[in-house]
Amino acid sequence: MERDPRFLAECGALCEALKGFPNVESLRRSPQWKDLGPRLERLLSTVRRFEPERPPASSPSGRVLAVHWNIEHGNWYDQVERALTTHPLLQSADLVLMNEVDFGAARAANRDVAFDLARALGLHGCWAPLSIETTLGRDDDVKMAGGLKNQEGLFGLAILSRWPLGETRIVELPSPEKIQFDVERMYGRHIALIVEIMRPGAPFVAVSVHLEVHRSREDRARQMQTLMSALRRETRPIILAGDFNSHSFNRGRLWDALLNAWVMLTWSDKAILSRFLHPDRGLARERIFDVLRDADFEWNRFNDRRPTLRVRFDRLDEARWLMKIAGPMLRWAERRSRLRLDWFAGRGWRDGNGGTVAGLDGPGKASDHAPIVAEFR
């Protein structure tokens, strides 16, 4: 898809303006906010849609084969595309829901990642932004940028479908704005992307969401509650997928880091693995699952209990200083930290099953997350 020069120029102008503010409070108190606020709102409410050159092939009736994948911005785009087009468990997907999908970010070679994947798969698609980056990113992103500068510099969610798309809408979720802007230097918020999938004779709704990772279990539950409120009146079947960041820890305060380190260093392998792969159970459970259950969603039949992410402590701010104190022990804890962060949930489906696709995640591979698949019948 040809890039819109006016949209590109607006992204560049807003990025440069944001760089002049050290924190989100100073931004919103500034005289410039009267102009910048509406422009940022327009930018972040833009849903981009893609149509295939020819209609996708038909799919067996009575079931929907869905894939969810956090693709780590598309930093390793070629491997992502190859997996989605050739892997036997992924290549026949009717629905692909993706988190961390870049548009014009240097770390992903300034690709329009969602459009490029929609074109490669021959599917209908849409993409919505969470935030605009004012830097090249974090962790491995600067290295991946390879000296390039951002173009649009946007970060978002995408949904691709074998069937045409109907109405699309964005639901804004309660977000850790101070962390995102003051620390990570990105302006935006967490969202859910809700899309009508116009399957002939049996339309349904697809939802992609990426919950926050920086704060508490209760914060994630509030985000899910906001989404459930937006879906309360929906009577059609729903497929919901996303990186729930269901690591089962609270974060953000000094004692959180100490308590989390105590759990990581003292719990047995069996106990820690049970907690990480079953975050919907026990006293430390993620309340997002309580919220889903109350809204008549189910998830057990659509997921196995295999990990989708291996922790890297060098990506956690609170772990870096702990590494200086207890480096060898934390490295041992890191090796056994395998988390189930990615999930499908459904409402209105009679049956289904799901699994995790191994071998595509890890350093130098397609993403830091493993993709998951589910069949909804």
- Examine residue 251 and state whether it is found in any structural domain, yes or no: no
Per-residue pLDDT, 3: 87
102 is in which domain, residue-wise?
5-246+286-305+340-376
Question: Quick one: 92 exposed, middle or buried, by C-beta within 10 A (0-12, 13-18, 19+)?
Answer: middle
- Examine residue 11 and state whether it is found in any structural domain, yes or no: yes
CA 141 to chain centre: 16
Per-residue pLDDT, 157: 98
| DSSP symbols for 285-345 | --THHHHHHHTT-B-GGG------EE--GGG-HHHHHHHHHHHHHHHHHHHT-EE--EEEE
Per-residue pLDDT, 64: 97
Q: Is 40 helix (H, G, I), strand (E, B) or coil?
A: helix
Cβ-based neighbours of 309, under 8 Å, separated by 6 or more: 338, 339, 341, 342, 361, 368, 369, 370
- Examine residue 326 and state whether it is found in any structural domain, yes or no: no
- Examine residue 278 and state whether it is found in any structural domain, yes or no: no
- Examine residue 355 and state whether it is found in any structural domain, yes or no: yes
- Examine residue 110 and state whether it is found in any structural domain, yes or no: yes
Within 10 Å of residue 156's Cβ, how many Cβ atoms? 29
Per-residue pLDDT, 177: 94
Per-residue pLDDT, 112: 98
Of 276, 249, 281, 280, the C-alpha closest to 345 is 280
Q: What is the DSSP letter of 233?
A: T
Domains held by the chain: number:
1
- Examine residue 266 and state whether it is found in any structural domain, yes or no: no
Per-residue pLDDT, 1: 66
Give the torsion through C-alpha atoms of 192, 51, 90, 171, to 10 deg: 0
Q: What is the DSSP letter of 212?
A: -
Per-residue pLDDT, 297: 98
> For the whole model, what pTM was predicted?
0.95
CA neighbours closer than 13 Å in the CB half-sphere of residue 271: 10
CATH of residue 13? 3.60.10.10
CA 202 to chain centre: 27
- Examine residue 15 and state whether it is found in any structural domain, yes or no: yes
Note down pLDDT in tens along the chain; length 377 residues.
Answer: 678 999 999 999 999 999 999 999 999 999 999 999 999 999 999 999 999 999 998 887 789 999 999 999 999 999 999 999 999 999 999 999 999 999 999 999 999 999 999 999 999 999 999 999 999 998 889 999 999 999 999 999 999 999 999 999 999 999 999 999 999 999 999 999 999 999 999 999 999 999 999 999 999 999 999 999 999 999 999 999 999 999 999 987 777 877 887 887 888 989 999 999 999 999 999 999 999 999 999 999 999 999 999 876 566 565 555 555 556 666 766 677 799 999 999 999 999 999 999 999 999 999 999 999 999 99
